[in-house]
Amino acid sequence: MKTELYDYQKKIRDDVINSGDFGVGLFMKMGTGKTVTSLSIFEYLWEQNKCDKLLVVCLKCKIEDWKNDIEKEFAYVPKYEVINFESIWRPKRAEYYKNFVDNKTMIIVDESQKMKGINTKISKFLLELKENTKYKLILTGTPQSKQYIDYYPQMKFIDAKDYDIPYKQWDRTYVRKKLVAEYGPWHYEIEGYNYEDVLLKGITDKAQYHEYTSVYKKPIEIYQDIEHSKEAIKFQKKRVWPEVTQEQLETGDVPDNLVMADTQFALRNYLRQSLSGFIGEYDIASPKEEWLKEFLDITQDRVVIFTNYIKEIEKVEAICKKCGKPISWYYGAKKDLTNFKNKENGVAIVNYQSGAVGINDLCIANIGVFYSPPDGDYILFSQAKARLDRIGQTRQPVFYYLQTRGSIEKPIYDSFKEGKDFDDKCFNLWLNNQ
């Protein structure tokens, strides 16, 4: 491994190795290094000639991150596959992965809470696949929602005692249900569990935990590459939306919803907007929305999301509602952080111009998502980070910077890394190289 592990990561690795049990849950909070810790365990097995292949199952938005980490960490890259939850079980791919996994393959399931539900196609396939190898790690910071039934598929996957039995037997033994008729026909609801001490021991015997400590650390900064949408690519090339013919442009006979970037300011603005799912008043597709939904689905802590445009705020708000997150806002027309303060999983949607300075309340969160960078203003960017990275923060800040590949966003962030504004000169230089 090229990355030097922290002491707590080394301890987790060594505890797993010394136990001799390689069906393990790494229940480590965001920012504590689940990826590098799991790869260090694989490295040991690889060096001992016990494993020669690696299969990672993860969220779609994390595929490239895992590939990059695997390629980066090992001097000699092992044979590996990285696939997302929604694809691995599909008929055209399922047979390939059944053949790929054998008794010398390690399976890492990242964000294993996605296995929630014993009858989902994801859970069924992974529980079938797990029989091919004893080397299995599940990684999550949010393994359950205070229901042991949510643990069942995850713990069965790693062969946990009292979970690695048929579901009907487990259900009869441990689950207490009552018959109710609220909101529809009669049905059973879970009212509790039998032998909770046994169920808890089954988890703790197979899990390695790590949460944040009170020792303040330098922020973790993650530059998250996002794909272009087809619509954004079209606008980046033609700089006219929607696509029109040359004859229409010459005669003026163009659609009413035409957006033309006829000044440098407008071009720069529309180029940036197109990456966040709109151009002017017109919506287009944006892979950032998919990334954010997946991210919020797996994050149970408070999150601050920094935005530039009102349309971004509206889109982020819609995603938060789909994920069932308590929402707060801080921008010109609306400044209400009540839900963010009162709910441990609250989300604060903050506009740079309104909330990058003068707010001390945001540091109760340590996770910041920068949905798009501010328009070249390094000081404003630094001030936004300082809302979380400040006195009063007791946990390590984790910042996610969403940047669309090959777009204006990356050079903006590159300028910020150097402590510089992304000014008109930088923009023209970037533009001339396109």
Give per-residue pLDDT as tens, 124-176: 999 999 999 999 999 987 665 557 998 999 999 999 999 999 999 999 999 99
Greater confidence (180 vs 415) lies with 415
CA 204 to CA 209: how far, in whole Å? 9
Beta strands 282-283; 278-279: pairing state: antiparallel
Lowest mean pLDDT segment, chosen from 38-42, 140-144, 201-205, 333-337: 140-144
Task: Compute the average pLDDT of residues 196-211.
Answer: 91
- Is the pTM higher than 0.75? The answer reads no
pLDDT at residue 61, as a whole number: 77
Sequence-distant (6+) residues with CB within 8 A of 68 are none
pLDDT tens digits, 19-66: 999 999 999 876 678 999 999 999 999 999 999 999 999 988 789 889
Closest Cα partner for 383 from 359, 347, 348, 401? Answer: 359
Instruction: Name the band, by pLDDT with cuts 50, 70 and 90, for residue 379.
Output: confident
Distance separating alpha carbons of residues 241 and 235, to the nearest angstrom: 6
Closest CA to 427 of 359, 356, 375: 375
**pLDDT score for 106:** 98
CATH 3.40.50.300 positions along the chain are: 220-227+283-432
Select 7-210's CATH number: 3.40.50.10810, 3.40.50.11900, 3.20.20.70, 3.30.930.10: 3.40.50.10810
CA distance 134 to 103: 7
- What is d(CA 302, CA 222) in angstroms, rounded to the nearest whole number? 17
Reading the block at residue 219, the tokens are 């922020």
- Confidence (pLDDT) at 216: 54
- With a CB cutoff of 8 Å and minimum separation 6, the contacts of 126 are 57, 88, 89, 107, 109, 115, 153, 157
Q: What is the pLDDT of residues 395-428, one digit of tens each?
A: 889 999 999 999 999 999 999 999 889 988 999 8
Portions of the chain given CATH number 3.40.50.10810: 7-210
Q: Cβ of 344: how many Cβ atoms within 10 Å? A: 10
Residue 33 amino acid letter? G
Q: Compute CA distances 43 → 50, 111, 139, 233, 342, whole Å.
A: 10, 21, 17, 40, 43
Between the alpha carbon of residue 422 and those of residues 51, 270, 308, 409, 411, the distances in Å are 47, 16, 15, 10, 8
Q: What is the spatial distance between Cα 151 and Cα 163, in angstroms, rounded to a whole number?
A: 9
Query: Is residue 19 helix, strand or coil?
Result: helix
* Percentage with pLDDT > 90 across the chain: 65
**Region at 27 (left for phi over 0; alpha for psi -120 to 50; beta for the rest):** beta
- What would the mean pLDDT of 91-96 be, rounded to a whole number? 93
CATH 3.30.9.10 matches 220-227+283-432: no
State the average pLDDT over residues 288-313.
95
What is the band of 184 on the pLDDT scale with cuts at 50, 70, 90?
A: low
